[in-house]
Amino acid sequence: MTEQTAHEAQFRTSLLEENDGPGTNPTENRTMGEIIAARFSRRGFLKGSLAVSAIAATVSPLALMTAEKARAAGASAFTFDEVEAGIDDKHHVAAGYDADVLLRWGDPLFADAPEFDPVKQNAEAQAKQFGYNNDYVGFIPLEGSSEHGLLVVNHEYTNPHLMFPGLVTLGEKEGKKVLEQAALSKEQVDIEIAAHGGTIVEIKKDGGKWQVVRDGKLNRRITANTEMQLSGPVAGHDRVKTNADPSGLKVFGTINNCAGGVTPWGTYVMAEENIHGYFSGELPADHKEAGNYKRLGIPEGSYEWAAHYDRFDLAKEPNEPNRFGWIVEVDVNDPTSAPKKRTALGRFKHEGAESIVASDGRVVFYLGDDERFDYVYKFVTAGKFNPDDRATNMDLLDEGTLYTAKFADDGSVEWLPLTFNEGPLTAENGFESQADVLIETRRAADLLGATKMDRPEDIQPNGVTGKVYVMLTNNTKRKEDQVDAANPRAKNAFGHIIEIIEDGGDFTATKGNWEVLLKCGDPSVAEVGASFSTATTANGWFGMPDNCAVDSAGRLWVSTDGNNAKDTGRTDGLWAVDTEGEARATSKLFFRVPVGAEMCGPLFTPNDETAFVAVQHPGDGGEEWEGFGRPSYYEDLSTRWPDFKPDMPVRPGVVVITKQGGGKIAV
């Protein structure tokens, strides 16, 4: 990669910000699009014009028959007046609600932490301040309270052109304005490293408003330098040993933490996603990891960390990438504890790790591999959860079975175990142990014939309905020969949502059934093939589902990544989606973010009276928004959210939403 190409890659607009990697699946495994098409062809839904089939192909028959009745009867489970969809430099929430910024990039988290100064940034200060690009948000109650607890937040990646003054200039290429970025200094790289990872911070509701407890004894920053342990089947394996760690047991840092989860025993799990961007250099000739790394798109080299740290240079530390791409578990009760990379849950581009306790006491984690044509997984612990003894649960994630999903066109789904010496996962195919299977989870799933999905992101089990919701953000690489009336999109630009019902309502089951809950996009354009109910308004539809949450009433909330002026005429936001009864497939816009931002981390307190949302990379873009019309960077920003001060840059932040006068949200 040339120096200029590396600098341009720092903007990370196509690979990292959209979580849409290079697409490295070489198999002929069937895609979810083909399976959806075949399933609905079998049902005989394909009748009439494109406009009819575009709606009928995926919407529930019940919704088609009763949408007008639902609208008249007000059958939606959600009660609020919709926000108007659109684009501007501010955030907006439904009438009757407050949306207050709780935490922003650079906010101090400790009594001795300095205040944020954008022109005097340094790594030492950043390590004591709220990190950059907040994604997953979780809440762990203290003493069982919904108004006092620990907020846990992932910091996925960094945008240098929005962070650092004097780094970027505006140039021109082929008649278009483009940003030209200088190489990062070692100090700037160190700030990036400190801005990654996660935050654990005590928060409390006081006088009706949430506040950060700056001297909270459990407050903690985790960075890309924090010492961690490898645990589970891969710990100590030769393929994770490096010059810095010949034991294969100790790793420094976690990177690209996208979504995550909170376990039933109150720990915080962080999902390492797009790790490919952090590594540069070339492997030694004929190195045994060449195929493994190619399957993950390594090295992509968007970050300049290898210029200053050997561990990110494949020529110097060829095993280092095998130490990333895992689920990381953090004991929030002990700020001095070493986080553990739980290798039993597999290595790939993890979007999240949402969990639920099954009826027999085992714990099930649902996992998405966020790349075009990659797979859906779940992990079932070998041991059982003990609600009365936290200590006995602390290593549950080191033993269990990892499965990948194979969807069939008859509406069934089968969970295939990724277990060494079962099926094709043998020495004949290059697997010498379970550690090899887990290090090369993608290749193992390839061999099992898993279904190629359209960027699986959040996967959320619903303890109220017993269903599981899979967010599939998009896949613009779908080919023309995959198009038919039931799947009328040569490029699945807007994504869809799959609903899984496990056999017998048992989340540990190895078989189940699936349904399409929604195909996203503008339902007024027949060729798009969207399937929102007819009760959904012009503000209520969305594209690119990404993160999601299920509140205590079992209602589904969906946040998005990729809505913009060109494709949807709206920013990203948080939508309430009906999944049951007459209003099924009806969606309503509750909150929207400022221009350039992605909506992440929707999370509700146990009493449903507070929602937390994460506004990621606000101001990253503005070319297509008529209110700005040019590239956005530190000195010339499309928004200065959330401070709106001329001496403050745009700052990613967590917003807390409450009902004016109190009460449950959307009730």
Side chain identity at residue 370, one-letter code: D
Rounded mean pLDDT, 241-254: 97
Rounded mean pLDDT, 555-571: 96
73 pLDDT more than 90:
no
Please list, residue by residue across 529-554, b when 16 or more beta carbons sit within 10 angstroms of its beta carbon and e when fewer do.
Answer: bbbbbbbbbebbbbbbbbbbbbbeee
346 pLDDT more than 60:
yes
pLDDT at 11: 41
Among the listed residues 570, 644, 574, the one whose alpha carbon sits nearest the alpha carbon of residue 614: 574
The pLDDT tens digits of the residues spanning 451-465 come to 999 999 999 999 999
- Cβ-contact 261, 365 below 8 angstroms: yes
319/321 Cα distance (integer angstroms) = 6
Residue 91's pLDDT band (cuts 50, 70, 90): very high
Residue 480's pLDDT band (cuts 50, 70, 90): low
- Cβ-contact 103, 113 below 8 angstroms: no
439 pLDDT more than 70:
yes
The pLDDT tens digits of the residues spanning 153-210 come to 999 999 999 999 999 999 999 888 899 999 999 999 999 999 999 999 999 999 999 9
The CA radius of gyration of the chain, in Å to the nearest whole number, is 23
pLDDT at 31: 78
Bond prior to 299 in cis (omega within 30° of 0): yes
The pLDDT tens digits of the residues spanning 40-62 come to 655 443 332 233 333 333 334 33
10 pLDDT more than 90:
no
Please list, residue by residue across 117-152, b when 16 or more beta carbons sit within 10 angstroms of its beta carbon and e when fewer do.
Answer: eeeebebebbbbbbbbbbbbbbbbebeeebbbbbbb
141/179 Cα distance (integer angstroms) = 44
319: which strand partners? none
Residue 20's pLDDT band (cuts 50, 70, 90): low
The pLDDT tens digits of the residues spanning 283-325 come to 988 999 999 999 999 999 999 999 999 999 999 999 999 999 9
pLDDT at 32: 76
554/427 Cα distance (integer angstroms) = 45
**Virtual torsion, Cα 152, 158, 159, 163, nearest 10 deg:** 80
pLDDT at 401: 98
Distances 251 to 255, 267, 433 between C-alpha atoms, Å: 11, 19, 21
Task: Give the total residue count for the chain.
Answer: 667
Stated as kind and residue range, the H or E segment containing 187 is helix 186-195
The Cβ of residue 96 has, within 10 Å, a number of other Cβ atoms equal to 11
Question: CA 492, 366, 472 angle in degrees (round to 5)?
Answer: 10
Residue pointed to by tokens 């959210």: 641
The conformation of residue 115, written as its DSSP 8-state character, comes to: P
Show Cβ contacts of residue 144 under 8 Å, excluding neighbours closer than 6 positions. none
The whole-chain average pLDDT of the chain stands at 90
128/117 Cα distance (integer angstroms) = 13
38/450 Cα distance (integer angstroms) = 17
490 pLDDT more than 80:
no
536/85 Cα distance (integer angstroms) = 13
469/471 Cα distance (integer angstroms) = 7
The pLDDT tens digits of the residues spanning 385-427 come to 999 999 999 999 999 999 999 999 889 999 999 999 999 999 9
Quick one: how far is CA 528 from the chain centroid? 25
pLDDT at 489: 52
499 pLDDT more than 60:
yes
Residue pointed to by tokens 């970050």: 303
The conformation of residue 185, written as its DSSP 8-state character, comes to: P
Mapping DSSP to helix (H, G, I), strand (E, B) and coil, where does residue 33 land? helix
The conformation of residue 278, written as its DSSP 8-state character, comes to: G
491 pLDDT more than 90:
no
Side chain identity at residue 89, one-letter code: D
